[in-house]
Amino acid sequence: MGLPGLQELEAAAGLVYAHMQGSPQLHWPLLSERCGCRVWVKHENHNPTGAFKVRGGLVYLHGLRERDPDVRGVVAATRGNHGQSVAYAAARTGLEAVVVVPRGNSPDKNRAMRALGAELVEYGADFDEAVPHAQSLARERGLHPMPSFHRDLVTGVATYGLELLRARPGLDRVYVPIGLGSGVCGVIAARNALGLDTEIVGVVSSAADAYARSLAAGEVVTTDSADTIADGMAVRVPSPEALAIMQGQVSRVVAVDDNAVRDAMGHYFADTHNVAEGAGAAPLAALLVERDINAGAEVALVLSGGNVDRALFAAALAG
């Protein structure tokens, strides 16, 4: 899969900005003091759905409408942020949205998807079990099976990377959470399109480290479980297309455990009064792991979303 160039990214940004504004990249002195370097936060938690994926949903469904004017709706598997993106974009393109979530999924994310107009179906123990059921539902109902990784999704979410790197072209490195991979691949696309040499560091949960293992092995490596509070990174089966893009483009992958993620959620609130979900806080946790090598550097963190359940967030704040 070839990455989009600058002209395509700018066209995607135009589609995105027809429905939402770009998110800010802000410097927080207290956070910088904690991390021992100059830190910029890319606030994708400020988007209409509270997460970065809405950009990809808008671009994908715009393209789908052009490719198939008769399409009635879409079915997607999700842990929440992708589903909210699909529901938000479907409502703006006149499409039906059905989202399949695993049993025990975040109640707050489920409520949000329903509020955006999606029909919610619960199936399976985790995301990777929800995917085939979503595909089966699409066939049964004659709806489009919405992928979780696709070039149009990458192109859409790459617009946040374009905003960040145009605003801060001198960044030494960017820490990006890795779920199925659209976010980190989007940052790669934006960096390459702008001709920059900014280092990209991927972040995974130590309890869902399939991408770290796959990048080390040079091939797709699956795991038996992905049990982490960072549900946006809870992936057992990597996308081969995403892995191919990451190879040679991501300098390394840092794995952080749930305790470090909880601490980072608390740090974000203490230092910036922002709410970060697990995946959104993971880059801060990784930066703190690599605090020494970042001394004096200019670094960005992708706060990919703020959709966290109240009980989990309260526990994080309580330490």
Task: For 36-75, write each residue's pLDDT tens digit.
Answer: 999 999 999 999 999 999 999 999 999 999 999 999 999 9
Q: What is the pLDDT of residue 128?
A: 82
pLDDT of residue 126: 85
Nearest CA to 305 among 50, 1, 12?
50
What's the rounded Cα separation, in Å, for the pair 73 and 153?
17
On whether the CB atoms of residues 272 and 28 are closer than 8 A, the answer is yes
Question: In the chain, what are the domains?
Answer: 6-52+151-318 (3.40.50.1100), 54-145 (3.40.50.1100)
- 51 three-state secondary structure: strand
Helix (H) or strand (E) holding 256: strand 252-256
CB-based contacts of 180: which residues, under 8 Å, 6+ apart?
A: 148, 149, 235, 238, 239, 242
Low-confidence spans in the chain with pLDDT less than 70 = none
**What is the reported pLDDT for 272?**
98
With contact defined as beta carbons under 8 Å apart, do 183 and 52 qualify? yes
Per-residue pLDDT at 24: 98
Q: Residue 74: helix, strand or coil by DSSP? A: strand
How much is the pLDDT for 33?
Answer: 98
Say what the pLDDT of residue 214 is: 97
